[in-house]
Structure 1
Amino acid sequence: MTEKLQKVLARAGKGSRREIETLISQGRVSVNGDVAHLGDRVTGKEQIRVDGHMVETQPEGEIICRVLAYHKPEGEVSTRKDPEGRPTVFDRLPKLQGSRWVAVGRLDVNTSGLLLFTTDGELANRLMHPRHEIDREYAVRVFGEVNEAMLQRLRKGVMLEDGMAKFDTIKYNGGEGMNHWFHVTLKEGRNREVRRLWESQEMQVSRLIRVRYGKIELPRNLPRGGWAEMPLDQVNYLRNEVGLTNEEQSKVDVHATERYKQVAQIRKAVRKHNSRVKGEGAGAGAAAKKPAPARARSTGQRQKRKTRL
């Protein structure tokens, strides 16, 4: 059975079908060493390259659509590799054989919160496309005096450098002094859109956390740097939202308790990453409640560090 080349590459996470059609028309895709053309069909067993790089593909029926909810910390970049050597959101994810995790959009380096990953590139591309209008909710802390006129402008629409933008909803969530928390929603995922909207009103964003994507909320018990695999009903909710058929298989053990399902993987992923962070020992010492003599404090730090590693 053959499929259109752009469909196979979209499933592999190389872009939307339209984006891949552009790559093909530019001569940047090859099949078994020959330059590909629009309309080509493949089985998925061929040697397919994009810009000279081999693409790992699988037949549609062999791929189980899996989705991870990841609690991104501040300081991680949403790319597979960073030329500056910064940690990436892919560093902590579980390893796969025969497929790879595709990020559903991005969060900038200073933004934390919910980031979705899937093994289905077509699902990722559809979820990111603005025509499906899947709303995202953010908790945002701004510094300064916020008045009703500002909020009305943010609801009505503000002209940014890349076009009009607005929040669909804005809800005040408390604060102290000049710091105020709001929960805002929008249906687009443009670069730094939430920050730029607030900055258009001369407000400074000091914290930004994505707490929801569609009906998928950031799990309350998921630590920063931890991931949790979604059960089949949530996977199919996302697929139905973008017009894809239901997935019938799942890697999640439906007979296990929530704690048993995820705690071991979460701890392993977070521990692996934290062991590479420099200066961890100093941070552990600062967390102590009471000062101690130099020798005792040093011993305590060594014990804490040994436990975490």
Structure 2
Amino acid sequence: MTLDPDHALFVAILDSGSIAATARASGTSPAMVSKRLARLEARLGVRLIERTTRRLHPTPVGTQLHADLKQILAALAAAEARVTGAASAPAGPLRIAAPTSFARLHIAPHLGDFLRLYPAVALELTLSDGYVDLAAGRIDCAIRITADPPAGYVARRLAGNRRVVCASPAYLAAHGVPTSPAALAGHRLLAAEGQLPWTLLRPARRAVVEGVSHVRTDSSEIVRELALAGVGIALRSLWDVGKALADGRLVRVLPEWEGAHDLAIHALHAAQPRPAVSAFIDFLADRLSPPPWEPLDTSVG
């Protein structure tokens, strides 16, 4: 594939989120930008961007092309920098997306140190428990807790994601302590939408816990707060409830069982990230190695 100016223009449109903004940055008119985008779509024979009155949305093929072109453009920029000796210090905009609870507990406390190390970086942090589309959201790096990182990006593993069954002492005193995964069926389970059923593992054994959450919510933070308040039993990540387990506000239930081990914490980015992106990922990997929530061995007495 030959890279032409229309490719770079297409990337700029999605990065800026606006044809008008792209036109201003390129010193041309919105009409000309629209014409060149239409020309690229006609040449490729596919629709790359859906236009609405409020914003632009890349189509699935547009998302993939944007990711591929970003890698190519980044590689070209890096090659030119090596030839010309251009400065490679981390600088410029850095857009990070991360899960709300994880960012609050394990990213935000370190951002001051990161910005003191790299004062030329302009940081933007987007928090969501859902998966943000990197291309549509113009995200440079996404922190995701997943077993299956998406294709088209580099996924760097930052830490594992051990999950344990836990509840407050008050809940267990009132409702009893379950002694098997099957016994959980008689208890109030707590989970955000899409997080049930639970798969629990112990050496050479596997159990699936079916059910519905006693309280419906789309927020993992609410699930943790409900567990702390004695509302029910939850399956939570150690990074989320480690402190509460350590100080006794929560205790482990079925301590010989844990959630399935397929999930891990990853940083997703383009194949040729800008220096600011690499600096942030290296910085966060250092802060999470070893994971500050490990080791932990707090169980029901």
For normalisation by structure 2, the TM-score amounts to 0.29
Higher relative contact order (CA 8 A, sep 6+): 2
Query: When you count helix as a share of all residues, which structure comes out higher?
Result: 2
